[in-house]
Amino acid sequence: MKLLALITAVAMASLGCVHTQAPERKMYLIAEDASRIHFKEETAGTGGAGAEAYCNELQIQCYDKCWRRKPPIWSIKKHSAVHREFCTRKCREEFNECVDKLEEIERQESNIKKLTFPNIDAALDWLKEHTPEAPPGTHVVVSGVGFVIAIIGGALFLAPI
Protein backbone atom coordinates (compact mmCIF):
# COMPACT_ATOMS: atom_id res chain seq x y z
CA MET A 1 0.00 0.00 0.00
CA LYS A 2 2.85 2.35 0.85
CA LEU A 3 4.46 1.52 -2.49
CA LEU A 4 1.25 2.44 -4.32
CA ALA A 5 1.02 5.75 -2.46
CA LEU A 6 4.68 6.49 -3.26
CA ILE A 7 4.21 5.70 -6.98
CA THR A 8 1.07 7.85 -7.10
CA ALA A 9 2.86 10.77 -5.39
CA VAL A 10 5.84 10.55 -7.78
CA ALA A 11 3.53 10.31 -10.82
CA MET A 12 1.49 13.32 -9.75
CA ALA A 13 4.61 15.37 -9.01
CA SER A 14 6.09 14.57 -12.40
CA LEU A 15 2.82 15.38 -14.20
CA GLY A 16 2.75 18.79 -12.56
CA CYS A 17 6.08 19.67 -14.18
CA VAL A 18 5.27 18.34 -17.65
CA HIS A 19 2.85 21.01 -18.84
CA THR A 20 3.77 24.66 -19.38
CA GLN A 21 2.08 27.03 -17.04
CA ALA A 22 -0.36 29.54 -18.42
CA PRO A 23 0.74 33.16 -17.96
CA GLU A 24 -0.72 35.15 -15.12
CA ARG A 25 -3.76 37.21 -15.96
CA LYS A 26 -2.00 40.53 -15.50
CA MET A 27 -0.95 43.33 -17.83
CA TYR A 28 2.50 43.27 -19.41
CA LEU A 29 4.29 46.43 -20.54
CA ILE A 30 5.35 46.44 -24.21
CA ALA A 31 6.44 50.09 -24.57
CA GLU A 32 6.45 52.95 -22.08
CA ASP A 33 5.66 55.64 -24.66
CA ALA A 34 3.16 54.58 -27.33
CA SER A 35 3.03 58.08 -28.86
CA ARG A 36 6.38 57.51 -30.59
CA ILE A 37 5.21 54.33 -32.29
CA HIS A 38 3.86 54.67 -35.83
CA PHE A 39 1.57 51.74 -36.46
CA LYS A 40 1.08 50.43 -39.97
CA GLU A 41 -1.90 52.03 -41.69
CA GLU A 42 -5.17 50.28 -40.98
CA THR A 43 -8.69 50.49 -42.22
CA ALA A 44 -10.65 50.44 -39.00
CA GLY A 45 -14.03 48.82 -39.00
CA THR A 46 -13.88 47.42 -42.51
CA GLY A 47 -14.59 43.80 -41.72
CA GLY A 48 -17.79 41.97 -42.55
CA ALA A 49 -20.95 43.98 -43.16
CA GLY A 50 -19.15 47.24 -42.42
CA ALA A 51 -17.10 46.82 -45.59
CA GLU A 52 -20.15 46.29 -47.75
CA ALA A 53 -21.99 49.22 -46.14
CA TYR A 54 -18.96 51.44 -46.80
CA CYS A 55 -18.83 50.35 -50.45
CA ASN A 56 -22.62 50.73 -50.81
CA GLU A 57 -22.35 54.35 -49.69
CA LEU A 58 -19.57 54.97 -52.21
CA GLN A 59 -21.70 53.40 -54.94
CA ILE A 60 -24.65 55.68 -54.10
CA GLN A 61 -22.41 58.74 -54.17
CA CYS A 62 -20.90 57.58 -57.48
CA TYR A 63 -24.33 57.13 -59.04
CA ASP A 64 -25.62 60.51 -57.84
CA LYS A 65 -22.52 62.24 -59.21
CA CYS A 66 -22.73 60.35 -62.52
CA TRP A 67 -26.46 61.08 -62.92
CA ARG A 68 -25.99 64.83 -62.35
CA ARG A 69 -23.28 65.12 -65.02
CA LYS A 70 -23.42 64.90 -68.77
CA PRO A 71 -22.26 61.45 -69.90
CA PRO A 72 -18.71 61.34 -71.28
CA ILE A 73 -19.92 59.49 -74.36
CA TRP A 74 -21.40 61.99 -76.85
CA SER A 75 -24.11 59.60 -78.09
CA ILE A 76 -25.68 59.20 -74.63
CA LYS A 77 -28.37 61.75 -73.83
CA LYS A 78 -28.38 63.08 -70.23
CA HIS A 79 -31.06 61.45 -68.00
CA SER A 80 -31.97 58.85 -70.63
CA ALA A 81 -32.36 55.10 -70.02
CA VAL A 82 -28.93 54.58 -71.58
CA HIS A 83 -27.48 57.20 -69.20
CA ARG A 84 -29.04 55.32 -66.25
CA GLU A 85 -27.55 52.04 -67.51
CA PHE A 86 -24.15 53.70 -68.01
CA CYS A 87 -24.09 55.09 -64.45
CA THR A 88 -25.33 51.81 -62.97
CA ARG A 89 -22.62 49.79 -64.75
CA LYS A 90 -19.85 52.30 -63.96
CA CYS A 91 -20.73 52.50 -60.26
CA ARG A 92 -21.23 48.75 -59.91
CA GLU A 93 -17.67 48.29 -61.17
CA GLU A 94 -16.43 50.80 -58.58
CA PHE A 95 -18.41 48.96 -55.89
CA ASN A 96 -16.83 45.62 -56.86
CA GLU A 97 -13.34 47.17 -56.83
CA CYS A 98 -14.03 48.65 -53.37
CA VAL A 99 -15.19 45.29 -51.97
CA ASP A 100 -12.17 43.52 -53.52
CA LYS A 101 -9.76 46.05 -51.97
CA LEU A 102 -11.37 45.80 -48.52
CA GLU A 103 -11.36 41.99 -48.67
CA GLU A 104 -7.65 42.05 -49.54
CA ILE A 105 -6.94 44.40 -46.62
CA GLU A 106 -8.96 42.12 -44.33
CA ARG A 107 -6.98 39.08 -45.51
CA GLN A 108 -3.69 40.87 -44.84
CA GLU A 109 -4.85 42.02 -41.40
CA SER A 110 -6.12 38.57 -40.44
CA ASN A 111 -2.56 37.29 -40.80
CA ILE A 112 -1.34 39.68 -38.13
CA LYS A 113 -4.40 40.16 -35.94
CA LYS A 114 -4.21 36.66 -34.43
CA LEU A 115 -0.83 36.14 -32.83
CA THR A 116 -0.07 32.95 -30.86
CA PHE A 117 2.95 32.33 -28.64
CA PRO A 118 4.07 29.43 -26.45
CA ASN A 119 4.96 31.65 -23.48
CA ILE A 120 4.79 35.25 -22.30
CA ASP A 121 8.52 35.90 -22.83
CA ALA A 122 8.31 34.92 -26.51
CA ALA A 123 5.23 37.11 -26.92
CA LEU A 124 6.81 40.16 -25.29
CA ASP A 125 10.07 39.75 -27.22
CA TRP A 126 8.23 39.55 -30.55
CA LEU A 127 5.89 42.44 -29.71
CA LYS A 128 8.74 44.72 -28.65
CA GLU A 129 10.52 44.03 -31.95
CA HIS A 130 7.43 44.18 -34.18
CA THR A 131 5.28 46.75 -32.38
CA PRO A 132 4.23 48.70 -35.53
CA GLU A 133 2.92 45.46 -37.04
CA ALA A 134 0.63 44.73 -34.08
CA PRO A 135 -1.51 47.82 -33.42
CA PRO A 136 -3.84 48.30 -30.44
CA GLY A 137 -6.76 45.89 -30.67
CA THR A 138 -4.63 42.99 -31.89
CA HIS A 139 -5.55 39.72 -30.18
CA VAL A 140 -2.66 37.70 -28.75
CA VAL A 141 -2.89 34.15 -27.38
CA VAL A 142 -0.18 33.06 -24.94
CA SER A 143 -0.34 29.43 -23.80
CA GLY A 144 -4.09 29.43 -24.37
CA VAL A 145 -4.72 32.70 -22.49
CA GLY A 146 -6.21 35.58 -24.49
CA PHE A 147 -4.71 39.07 -24.40
CA VAL A 148 -5.28 42.26 -26.36
CA ILE A 149 -2.81 45.05 -27.13
CA ALA A 150 -4.01 48.29 -25.55
CA ILE A 151 -2.76 51.84 -24.95
CA ILE A 152 -3.29 52.77 -21.33
CA GLY A 153 -2.03 56.07 -19.95
CA GLY A 154 0.16 56.61 -23.00
CA ALA A 155 1.93 53.25 -22.63
CA LEU A 156 1.46 50.13 -24.71
CA PHE A 157 0.33 47.04 -22.76
CA LEU A 158 -0.57 43.43 -23.34
CA ALA A 159 -3.77 43.19 -21.29
CA PRO A 160 -5.79 40.06 -20.49
CA ILE A 161 -9.16 39.76 -22.18
Check: CB of residue 21 under 8 Å from CB of residue 143.
yes
> For the chain, percent helix, then strand, then coil, each to nearest 5?
55, 15, 30
Of the candidates 42, 3, 20, which has an alpha carbon nearest to the alpha carbon of residue 120? 20
**CA-based angle 98:113:151, to the nearest 5?**
110
pLDDT of residue 67: 94
User: What's the pTM value of the predicted model, to 2 decimals?
Assistant: 0.44
Of the candidates 37, 57, 28, 49, which has an alpha carbon nearest to the alpha carbon of residue 140? 28
> How far apart, in whole angstroms, are the C-alpha atoms of residue 148 and residue 161?
6
Give mean pLDDT, residues 125-152.
83
- Name the pairing type of β-strands 139-142 and 145-152: antiparallel
Which of 8-12, 13-17, 24-28 is most confident?
Answer: 24-28
Check: CB of residue 148 under 8 Å from CB of residue 161.
yes
Over residues 22-73, the pLDDT tens digits come to 566 688 888 887 777 777 654 333 344 556 777 888 899 999 999 999 998 8
Share of the chain above pLDDT 90, in %: 20
What are the strands of the beta sheet with 155-160, ordered from one edge?
A: 28-31, 155-160, 145-152, 139-142, 114-117
pLDDT over threshold 80, residue 101: yes
Please report, in angstroms and rounded to a whole number, the separation of the first and last CA atoms in the chain.
Answer: 46
Q: Is the dihedral of CA 38, 41, 47, 52 positive or negative?
A: positive
Check: CB of residue 76 under 8 Å from CB of residue 83.
yes
